[in-house]
Amino acid sequence: MSATYERYRNVPLTPPNQAPPALRYPWPEGNRAAMFLSFDIDAESAWTGKDPSHADRLVTMSFGGFEARVGTPVILRLLREMELKATFFITGWAVEAHPAMAEAVLADGHEIGHHGYHHLIPEPGADHMQEELDYGLEVLKRRLGVVPVGYRAPIGEASAELCQSLKEHNFLYTSSWFDDVRPYRQLMKDGSPGLIELPQTTSYDDWMHGLANRFSPRSIFPKEHVLSMWRDDLDETRAWGDLVTTVFHPQVSGRPMRFRLLREFLQYTVSCNDVWITTGEEIARYYEQQEKALAVS
């Protein structure tokens, strides 16, 4: 056997996600589709999470600093004006370093979700996985009095070990995976029910189109390009009757040109008059109700 095939010997023939197909049910109040409106507040931990020595790189850190100084306040103001409620996944570090910003999110009635402490990727076997979960939970409770029900993995990775730990910590839902266009319930390795998954799609991650620096070099795309993509994804999802999940970051979408894009996209979504725009917790609680009703019928 080649050395390459030797390395592949342990790749199982069973796909890791064995959950049954997503349940089909109508959305509330006659809406055709749902939007999980969510933001990730990483602040400077977006950068120190990649490398703690970034703490001394003042320009690199300033990208994250934009979030508390400008990005989050302008987005909170927009959501107030539009009377929209969202979920903000916040790292524990960001809550401790910017308590006034975190308190402002909470005071506006938005949902606070767990997003790690130092924004470290929960890679399989990572020795920091439990600390990231525990410290994140501890800070949200101590600083904000919040026990989160939603979790989004920093830089979007997960493992069976993480799923088990989230279940043991009584989380209701996660929003990290990419394999569906509707909410579904994860299946644990032992066959027991897992958390509800509110899947994402990369097109709604503003980081992909709107931020570039030396440690995250990308092209920045103009509003017309991104708005067209977001509208097409939304319109086709409305036709399918499914769910879109946004992964916006105030250090990206709180910048003037991107903010204009965000505002126009949200205005367009509201103008459709058939999209349920809400938090992850609302969508997950509704899923639970539907799951129960479908199990009885």
Residue 49 to residue 117: CA distance in whole angstroms? 9
40 is a site residue for Zn ion (CB under 5 A): yes
Report in angstroms how near the CB of residue 230 gets to Zn ion at its nearest: 19
42 is a site residue for Zn ion (CB under 5 A): yes
Residue 12 to residue 10: CA distance in whole angstroms? 6
Q: Closest CB to Zn ion among 47 and 286?
A: 47
Q: Which of 240, 215, 294 is nearest to 46 (CA)?
A: 215
| Beta carbons within 10 angstroms of residue 227's beta carbon | 17
Q: Closest CB to Zn ion among 64 and 183?
A: 64
Q: Closest CB to Zn ion among 33 and 252?
A: 252
206 is a site residue for Zn ion (CB under 5 A): no
44 is a site residue for Zn ion (CB under 5 A): no
Q: Which of 276, 248, 262 is nearest to 38 (CA)?
A: 248
Which element (helix H / strand E) includes 88?
A: strand 87-90
From 22-30, 37-45, 175-183, 201-209, span contacting Zn ion (CB under 5 A): 37-45
Largest CA distance in the chain: 64
From 153-161, 198-206, 239-247, 275-283, span contacting Zn ion (CB under 5 A): 153-161
Q: Closest CB to Zn ion among 47 and 276?
A: 47
Q: Closest CB to Zn ion among 238 and 255?
A: 255
User: What is the number of alpha carbons within 13 Å of residue 5 lying toward its C-beta?
Assistant: 2
Binding residues (CB under 5 A) for Zn ion: these are 40, 42, 154
